Amino acid sequence: MKVIIIGGVAGGASAAARLRRNNEDAEIIVLERGEFISYANCGLPYYIGGTIKNKEDLTLQTPESFNARFNIDIRVQSEATKIDPDNKKITILDKKTGKSYEESYDKLMLSPGAEPIIPKIDGIDNDKVFTLRTIPDTYRIKEYIDRKAPRSAVVVGGGYIGIEMAENLHDAGVDVTIVELADHIIGAIDYDMACEVHNHIRDKGAKLILNDAVKAVEDGDPLTVRLTDSSIEADMVILAVGVRPDTDFVKSAGIEVNDRGSIIVNERMQTNIPDIYAAGDAVEVMEYVTKTKAFIPLAGPANKQGRIIADQICGIDSTYKGTQGTSILKCFDLTVACTGINERMAKSQGIDYEKSFTYSASHASYYPNATDMSIKLLFDKSDGRILGAQIVGRDGVDKRCDVIATAIRANMTVYDLTELELSYAPPYSSAKDPVNMAGYVAENILDNRVKVYHWHDVNSIDASMGTLLDVRTSEEYDYGTIEGYESIDLDELRRSIDKLDKSRPVYVTCQIGLRGYIACRMLTQHGFECYNLSGGYRLYHEIYHGDEDRILEVNIETQR
């Protein structure tokens, strides 16, 4: 059996290694049009910033090492230019010699990956404008920084690569401005969770421009980057506006692609043409929660898909059950993680969902150096099924996101989160883990123990028709509150109930939502209609006043 794999890195390299482990006798050829067969593309920004010191550390396998271990014919700088499925042949351009030749196959795997989107911007072909996708891209950027010592840079796009590049350029001593067309960065998370990240980026000294676009790049020393109504001077520009499937060469072979250009495959990663498979950033996947088709380019799914293709070729019937978009990002001192769907997707699918916001310490608050993490949980109103989660914090974010990702994969509900028995010792967690706490809060909402309202509801409340109540301490209240809210400390509330009008609904806020929940439970049992602000004043302030003086830092225990 002769198998040809077009493309290395995650999907192709994983498939090749799995094929050899399954079949010692197969002839396996991997074609890679670049110079590197397997490299850590997720680590490229960190070489530019200096965290990764040696360029050799970016290369996971060389053609020689891969061949020595797996007896696989690795051909770098070899680009597949044509597929002839009727005769089971492909045409290959040897980029070293400029000559083309044909190679036959019994089974063919496509793993061409994705390529950076280059927006149509005047002046974008300037040699001071860069994209980052491959190791040669990385070397070009690093060489420019080492040689020219740029003082300023504009990063176009606030996705994962854009934020990582901004951080690493900042670490390299470059003054960075991020320009993002949308109203928030990191499109996988929602606006309300992104606001905390916006404020952190600005606190670190980087500039962030939202709801704006780069219109032109004018040559000069420095460059002039023209926006809609303003301009920025910069010594270099990084384009990070996203990627698209690199599949133009497959269309003439009759391989089906969708409107985006993603190759359409079934759960066995088979295309519409027999004996041709596809994996990785080039394919259309099923989004796990909604069961809809999606484009989710991530390394983990690509590796799994490559393994499945190798199994299928060797007669092992394994299937791919969907991508849930679990991802994580380091943004200066913050970690941002998410899994499942966000509000935008839930709304587009017509899902009747609810959300909760919780703030928990990364470990026991009495143990030194506990830090706060924000957790947003989306769940189905009808049955509590977990739809997605977004977490922002400093320590322990990855652990909690992975727990919830596992819960989503197991089709668990928020009730199940309350029952999870997770590891606990003071340096690592609390007896009630942040995941348990998110489950408790969501359970209280679903079981109608508390009614909630959200940050985007606050400004639409008619103060003449209800009572607006802040139950934090007087010190917290004096530092800042939501306009129109009166102050009654939670510990004084029971003695002040007679002062409240029972005929009017009470809208409560506290710092993070916990004291507000206690207040609502008290008031409800005294005959009041009560609503608790989910996420409390902390979330409201982060969204509406993030550019003003920083919010009062209150000890985690006093927030309870």
Q: Which of 250, 222, 255 is nearest to 237 (CA)?
A: 222
73-76: strand order across its sheet: 73-76, 27-32, 2-6, 107-110, 276-278
Q: Which two tokens mark 112?
A: 């061409």
Cβ contacts of 251-254, under 8 Å, gap ≥ 24: 252/82, 252/83, 253/82, 253/83, 253/84, 253/85, 254/85
The answer to whether 42 is a known catalytic residue is yes
CA distance 271 to 517: 52
The one-letter amino acid at 372: D
Q: What are phi and psi of 42, to 5 degrees?
A: -70, -15
In the 3-class helix/strand/coil scheme, how is 275-334 assigned residue by residue? Answer: CEEECHHHECEEECCCCCEECCCCHHHHHHHHHHHHHHHCCCCCCCCCECCCEEEEECCE
Alpha helices in 115-190 (DSSP H): 135-148, 160-171
In Å, how far are 111, 245, 423 from 16, measured between CA atoms?
11, 21, 37
How buried is residue 300: exposed, middle or buried, by Cβ count under 10 Å (0-12/13-18/19+)? exposed
**CB-based contact 542:551 (threshold 8 Å):** yes
H-helix segments, 8-62: 9-22, 44-48
Quickly tell me which residue has 């070397």 as its tokens. Answer: 139
CA–CA dist 30, 148 (Å, integer): 38
Tally of residues, the chain = 560
Q: Are strands 334-340 and 73-76 parallel, antiparallel or unpaired?
A: unpaired
Whether the CB-CB separation of 226 and 214 falls below 8 Å is answered with: yes
Q: Tell me if residue 238 falls in helix, strand or coil.
A: strand
Residue indicated by tokens 């066995």: 268
Of 13, 220, 44, 52, whose CA–CA distance to 134 is shortest?
44
What's the alpha-carbon Rg for the chain, to the nearest Å? 27
Active site residues: 42
